[in-house]
Amino acid sequence: MRIVCPFCGERELGEFTYLGDAKPQRPAAGADAVYDYVYLRDNVAGVMSEHWYHGGGCRAWLKVTRNTLTHEISAVEPAAGAGAAKVGA
Amino acid sequence: MADFSWDVRSPLDRALVVGPYGAQGDAGLALTEIRDFDLVQVMARRGKAGAMTKATKAHFGVAAPETPKAVAAADATLIWSGPDQFLVLSKGGRHALEMLAPVFAGSASLSDQSHARALISVSGDKARATLAKLSSIDLHPGVFGVGAAAATSMDHTSVTLWRGRDRSGLAVFNLLVFATFAESLWHTILDSAAEYGVTISHSEEFA
Ligand SMILES: [Zn+2]
């Protein structure tokens, strides 16, 4: 499997580290919501959005859209906050 | 208070043995450690990438690299190291941390890496063949020309790789590696190049 880093180009899997599901958003409050956020994950068979870290390269966090059945990657974009230019003023 | 006596020496001080290595005859590889350089990491502060770019242009007279490449200024090389960040490689203290601090005040965070990395220059007939054993980057001249750079890994070790100016018509590849990993990578390069024959040296001059 290879990932096309939006900053570096196409790289081998060994340069990346997998974090997990990119969908969960930190809830503002509520014990049940926080429990869900921390512990519960969908076991997606198909297209899912994931966080990957390009630690062996540019050290940016990426959001990768990957089909867990075929490993086909349909999109890669910088995760929120990757690169100072992308954030606020 | 105790007095400390700091003995500045290369992380390759022990591993580097000047002279020929491996196969005899015409060496296919020249492996040179470059010593005594200034290296500063420049990272834009949040939302200040534009200001950092302007400060770079004003100080160095060249644009900061915004894609993986190494940009030559009059007396420094600016090497891309990630989004909105680059390394400044120079000699003689002209672009050392304390000189750059006022230049990037308010726009970028600086970190002195001068003694945190080793700089290795790889050249010769077999430079590309040697590095191909360690790297998955396509180093064909049609893809990786003079000034091309990559933040990548070799032998599970993070490196900054870029192609310098050709010497005697042959490509020159430069590698910056974390000081504590330098010896390991050095031995791996020697193992990979032994079949071609290596000329080992160190220099105070940039390749
Ligand atoms: Zn990258």
Low-confidence ranges of chain B (pLDDT < 50): none
- Residue B93 placed within a domain: yes
Distance from CA of B7 to the nearest CA of A (A): 31
A15 touches chain B (CB under 8 A): yes
Q: Are residues B124 and B62 in the same domain?
A: no
Q: Is residue B8 part of a domain?
A: no
Tell me the C-alpha distance between A56 and B156, whole Å. 8
Domain range for B199: 19-35+116-203
Q: Which residues pair with B42 in a beta bridge?
A: B86, B110
Is the Cβ pair A84, B45 closer than 8 Å?
Answer: yes
* CATH code linked to domain A2-23+32-87: 3.30.2270.10
Look at residues B112, B128, B148 and tell me which one is the last residue of a structural domain: B112
Check which CATH number belongs to the domain holding B47 and give it.
3.30.70.1520
- Distance separating alpha carbons of residues B42 and B191, to the nearest angstrom: 34
Question: Are B142 and B64 found together in one domain?
Answer: no
CA–CA separation, B148 vs B142, rounded Å?
11
**CA dist., res. B182 & res. B10, Å (int):** 10
Query: What CATH number does residue B151 fall under?
Result: 3.30.1360.120
For B8-17, the pLDDT digits (tens) are 889 999 999 9
For residue B13, being part of any structural domain is answered with no
Residue A84 has pLDDT above 60, yes or no: no
Does residue B104 sit in the same domain as residue B138?
A: no
Domain count, chain B: 2
With a cut of 50, say whether residue A29 has pLDDT above it: yes
Domain boundary among B83, B112, B141: B112
pLDDT tier at A88, thresholds 50, 70, 90: very low
pLDDT interval class at A89 (50, 70, 90): very low
Q: Which of A3, A4, A10, A11 to mutate to test the interface with B (most CBs of B within 10 A)?
A: A11
Q: Do B82 and A7 touch (CB under 8 A)?
A: yes
What is the distance in A from the centroid of ligand 1 to the CA of B36?
A: 29
A84 touches chain B (CB under 8 A): yes
Domain boundary among B78, B112, B146: B112
B93 and B158 belong to one structural domain? no
Domain annotation covers residue B98: yes
pLDDT at A83: 63
Distance A83 CA to ligand 1 centre (A): 11
Q: Quick check: is B2 in a domain?
A: no
Q: Which residue of B has its CA nearest to A82?
A: B83
Is A89 touching B (CB cutoff 8 A)? yes
B47 and A84 within 8 Å at the Cβ level: the answer is: yes
Residue B14 lies in a domain: no
